[in-house]
């Protein structure tokens, strides 16, 4: 599908990966691939539709903005997928290979076992046992590695997990079967051991796929804060420089609409900066020569030159990232429910096996007979269903949630979400949309709408964007303006059909979030804006209340607007909090035994998101917010929060039912095993039966969200 290349042979090519969330159909694939490949300097483009990504092989001379512009020229918004975020699916691949091998081996051994169970005897049985051994040994060596490694790692640290009884069970079963094969005995458990591995690998793989898939979705939404910037080089020109290569002392030329890639001091020009990434406040702040500006903030109105004072790991942004790292440590100590179950399960199982061995020895059965019985106890109790109980339920629930627009990063998120009993919301961007909305569009005289929209289109100021979107879809013929000027902090002016028009700061300072529009002799129009609540906010908070979660507002914004909003919603509020304050608030609550669900979006929420028992971020969040959160929800509505909590609780109910099923099966099977009645046939039937039951129960979660 790659069109002819316009690239001279022998030139070194680089490949760059872009996320293109806007592609929807086959036409988009063709447009992107053919359109990009037709551009000079691009050798080929390949779309991955499932991941909504395009990989471009191009000459190194084409820089990032040029590639982005090329994709924009075809009609798609694209974001660079940073190297670090490129999904590492090596683990999933390793598990798929192990699963394929185990599946192949299980089928073939089962084929041989069926003939043994049907009554093959003597030389034929021995031959079949030998063949089974031949298939099983390399399989267990290959497919069993994930379990052996994990069990060994746990034992080395003096802990135990689900993999310990699995590894012991499989190893002993194979050792016993080998002994039986050598001595020409009647029972070999190769089929059971390999089938067990296969079922467990299915569970393990599902778990892994779920993690990868959600991470894919999240990185897809990640907006690159600033991959680099234009550095002024001595001859007065500018060159695109990667953020990693920026150094203190360099001068960055930051155009309006660009994000800063480093901390610095403005040396020429003045402009408004959108600091919402750092403070969570959406109203832009004026910054002029001599002011310090921070990496990640957005230059809204005019180009400025900035001398870099700190880059890379020294920026204020990186400081917050470190705070987040430290806050996230607590979460990594969370013990998954499966491992908690294993803590009780493993000692009981091993004690049972040891007791049956001792019991039969005392009863005079001989060491061979006693050993066989002890091992069959181990095999029958091998937590096959337990290994599937958690991941199947969680992946089905995560799939259901994904359809409702909630991306869950891993299974433990659902476990922690079900335990939350307190919810803390950030204000700007979380309870509210985080973007101003024009409230009085009707006040603008119809004749003035076209020049107003034309003027607003000339700027990337959030208020201008709000004006444009308020009148979008009205089918306006936007006139051409001449002499458009943007004065940082003051506003825009231009000439419209010989009339001077101005859009800018209102005369009165107490007008709140507002702008004044003046055109020639018309009376000035005062435009009011507000940061609107997300739709369904009240419903969502009431719903959370019914689920037993108290809600609070944690905001970095000034006290007055926060208490006003909290009062309207009937919530407790804490305002003017720094990122560290939010972190302390959450840690304080958690030390007193509460489980906090943090919902936030900004960089300033990063540490709080990382520290919360569990956290969610809207898809409009900063990439820091999305990375720190355990789950990301799409769309403007806040309803996905209670939906996710409810689905998580249903998931945990199903997980507990699955545990009960698995334990119930053991209550029936273990006495049989202790009584010495379990043959390989019964073991195989019991194992697959209980696994299917657990999977079937988990599938009930398909409509969980």
Partner 1 sequence: MTGLLLLIPVALGLGLVGLVAFFWAVRNGQFEDLEGAGMRILIEDEDSDA
In the list 1, 326, 668, 699, the residue contacting partner 1 (rule: CB under 8 A) is: 1
In the list 62, 101, 295, 662, the residue contacting partner 1 (rule: CB under 8 A) is: 101
In the list 7, 13, 21, 49, the residue contacting partner 1 (rule: CB under 8 A) is: 49
- Active-site annotation holds for 630: no
In the list 19, 20, 42, 51, the residue contacting partner 1 (rule: CB under 8 A) is: 51
Which lies closer to partner 1 via its Cβ, residue 1 or residue 292?
1
Other C-beta atoms within 10 Å of 265: how many? 15
d(CA 152, CA 147): 8
Assess 122 for contact with partner 1 (CB under 8 A).
Answer: no
- State the DSSP string of 177-189: HHHHHHHT-S---
Residues in the chain: 705
Assess 30 for contact with partner 1 (CB under 8 A).
Answer: yes
Assess 693 for contact with partner 1 (CB under 8 A).
Answer: no
Q: Of 515-544, which residues contact partner 1 (CB under 8 A)?
A: none
Q: Cα 44 to chain center, whole Å? A: 29
d(CA 503, CA 389): 62
Which lies closer to partner 1 via its Cβ, residue 100 or residue 313?
100
Find out whether 355 and 656 touch, Cβ atoms under 8 Å. Answer: no
Shortest Cβ 73–partner 1 spacing (Å):
19
Assess 107 for contact with partner 1 (CB under 8 A).
Answer: yes
Q: Candidates 107-115, 289-297, 615-623, 650-658 — which segment interacts with partner 1 by CB under 8 A? A: 107-115
Assess 25 for contact with partner 1 (CB under 8 A).
Answer: yes
Using CA of residue 374, residue 380, residue 384, residue 390, what is the dihedral sign? negative
Other C-beta atoms within 10 Å of 239: how many? 10
Assess 142 for contact with partner 1 (CB under 8 A).
Answer: no
Q: Is 52 helix (H, G, I), strand (E, B) or coil?
A: coil
Closest among 625, 626, 598 to 614, alpha carbons compared: 598
d(CA 44, CA 696): 45
Query: 207, 216, 410, 426: which is the annotated catalytic residue?
Result: 426
d(CA 484, CA 392): 60
In the list 47, 295, 320, 617, the residue contacting partner 1 (rule: CB under 8 A) is: 47
d(CA 250, CA 247): 6
In the list 96, 286, 487, 525, the residue contacting partner 1 (rule: CB under 8 A) is: 96
Which lies closer to partner 1 via its Cβ, residue 101 or residue 599?
101
Find out whether 551 and 541 touch, Cβ atoms under 8 Å. Answer: yes
Assess 465 for contact with partner 1 (CB under 8 A).
Answer: no
Assess 137 for contact with partner 1 (CB under 8 A).
Answer: no
> SS3 for 395-463, per residue?
HHHHHHHHHCCEEECCHHHHHHHHHCCEEEEEHHHHHEEEEEEECCHHHCCHHHHHHHHHHHHCCCCHH
d(CA 599, CA 544): 13
d(CA 605, CA 277): 9
Assess 97 for contact with partner 1 (CB under 8 A).
Answer: yes
Assess 244 for contact with partner 1 (CB under 8 A).
Answer: no
Which lies closer to partner 1 via its Cβ, residue 38 or residue 232?
38
Q: Is 48 helix (H, G, I), strand (E, B) or coil?
A: strand
In the list 16, 18, 19, 29, the residue contacting partner 1 (rule: CB under 8 A) is: 29
Shortest Cβ 194–partner 1 spacing (Å):
13
In the list 17, 34, 359, 469, the residue contacting partner 1 (rule: CB under 8 A) is: 34
Shortest Cβ 433–partner 1 spacing (Å):
31
Assess 3 for contact with partner 1 (CB under 8 A).
Answer: yes
Which lies closer to partner 1 via its Cβ, residue 96 or residue 526?
96
> SS3 for 204-256, per residue?
HHHHHHHHHHHHHHHHHHCCCCCCEEEEECCCCCEEEEEHHHCCCCCEEEECC
In the list 11, 14, 15, 48, the residue contacting partner 1 (rule: CB under 8 A) is: 48
Which lies closer to partner 1 via its Cβ, residue 38 or residue 526?
38
Q: Under rule CB under 8 A, how many of the chain's residues touch partner 1?
A: 27
In the list 104, 117, 179, 334, the residue contacting partner 1 (rule: CB under 8 A) is: 104
Contacts made by residues 114-120, CB under 8 angstroms, sequence distance 24+: 116/188, 117/680, 117/681
Assess 131 for contact with partner 1 (CB under 8 A).
Answer: yes
Assess 7 for contact with partner 1 (CB under 8 A).
Answer: no
> Where does this chain bind partner 1 (CB under 8 A)?
1, 3-4, 25-27, 29-30, 34, 47-51, 93, 96-97, 100-101, 104, 107-108, 111, 124, 127, 131, 135
Active site residues: 426
């Amino acid at each position: 599908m790659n069109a002819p290349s316009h690239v001279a042979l022998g030139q070194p090519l680089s490949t760059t990966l872009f996320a293109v969330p806007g592609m929807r159909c086959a036409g988009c694939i063709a447009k992107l691939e053919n359109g990009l490949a037709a551009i000079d300097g691009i050798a080929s483009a390949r779309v991955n539709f499932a991941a909504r990504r395009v990989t471009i092989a191009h000459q190194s001379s084409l820089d990032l903005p040029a590639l982005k512009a090329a994709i924009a020229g075809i009609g798609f918004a694209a974001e660079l997928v940073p190297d670090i975020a490129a999904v590492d699916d090596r683990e999933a691949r390793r598990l798929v290979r192990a699963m394929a091998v185990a599946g192949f081996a299980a089928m073939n051994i089962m084929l041989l076992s069926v003939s043994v169970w049907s009554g093959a005897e003597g030389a034929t049985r021995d031959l079949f046992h030998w063949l089974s051994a031949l298939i099983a040994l390399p399989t267990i060596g290959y497919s069993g590695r994930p379990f052996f490694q994990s069990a060994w790692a746990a034992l080395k640290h003096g802990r135990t997990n689900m993999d310990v009884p699995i590894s012991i069970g499989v190893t002993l079963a194979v050792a016993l079967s080998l002994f039986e094969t050598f001595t020409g005995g009647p029972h070999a458990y190769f089929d059971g051991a390999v089938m067990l591995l296969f079922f467990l690998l299915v569970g393990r793989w599902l778990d892994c796929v779920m993690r990868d898939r959600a991470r894919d979705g999240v990185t897809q939404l990640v907006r690159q804060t600033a991959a680099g910037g234009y550095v002024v080089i001595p001859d007065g020109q500018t060159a695109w420089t990667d953020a990693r290569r920026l150094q203190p002392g360099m001068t960055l030329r930051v155009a309006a609409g660009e994000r800063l890639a480093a901390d610095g001091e403005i040396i020429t020009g003045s402009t408004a900066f959108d600091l919402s990434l750092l403070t969570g406040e959406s109203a832009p702040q004026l910054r002029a020569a001599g002011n310090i500006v921070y990496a990640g903030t957005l230059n809204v109105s005019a180009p400025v030159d900035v001398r870099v004072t700190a880059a890379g790991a020294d920026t204020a942004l990186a400081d917050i990232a470190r705070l987040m790292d430290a806050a996230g440590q607590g979460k990594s100590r969370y013990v998954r429910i499966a491992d908690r179950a294993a803590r009780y399960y493993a000692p009981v199982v091993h004690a049972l096996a040891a007791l049956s061995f001792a019991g039969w020895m005392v009863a005079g059965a001989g060491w061979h007979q006693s050993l066989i019985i002890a091992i069959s106890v181990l095999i029958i109790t091998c937590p096959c269903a337990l290994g599937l109980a958690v991941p199947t339920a969680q992946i089905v629930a995560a799939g259901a949630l994904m359809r409702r627009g909630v991306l869950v990063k891993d299974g433990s998120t659902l476990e922690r979400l079900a335990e939350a009993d307190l919810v803390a919301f950030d204000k700007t961007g979380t309870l509210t949309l985080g973007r101003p909305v024009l409230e009085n569009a009707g006040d603008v005289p119809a004749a003035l709408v076209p020049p107003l929209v034309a003027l607003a289109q000339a700027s990337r100021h959030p208020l201008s964007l709000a004006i444009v979107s308020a009148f979008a879809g009205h089918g306006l013929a936007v006139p051409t303006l001449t002499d458009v000027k943007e004065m940082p902090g003051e506003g825009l002016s231009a000439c419209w059909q010989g009339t001077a028009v101005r859009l800018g700061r209102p005369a009165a300072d107490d007008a709140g979030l507002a702008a004044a529009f003046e055109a020639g002799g018309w009376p000035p129009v005062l435009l009011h804006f507000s940061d609107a609540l997300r739709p369904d906010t009240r419903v969502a908070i009431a719903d959370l209340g019914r689920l037993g979660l108290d809600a609070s507002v944690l905001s970095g914004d000034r006290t007055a607007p926060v208490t006003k909003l909290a009062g309207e919603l009937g919530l407790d509020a804490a305002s003017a909090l720094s990122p560290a304050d939010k972190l302390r608030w959450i840690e304080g609550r958690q030390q007193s035994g509460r489980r906090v669900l943090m919902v936030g979006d900004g960089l300033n929420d990063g540490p709080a998101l990382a520290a919360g028992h569990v956290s969610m971020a809207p898809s409009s969040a900063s990439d820091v917010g999305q990375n720190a959160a355990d789950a990301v929800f799409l769309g403007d509505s806040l309803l996905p929060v209670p939906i996710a909590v409810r689905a998580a609780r249903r998931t945990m109910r199903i997980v507990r039912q699955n545990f009960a099923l698995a334990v119930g099966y053991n209550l029936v099977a273990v006495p049989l095993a202790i009584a010495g009645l379990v043959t390989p046939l019964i073991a195989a039937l019991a194992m697959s039966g209980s696994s299917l039951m657990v999977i079937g129960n988990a599938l009930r979660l398909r409509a969980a969200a």
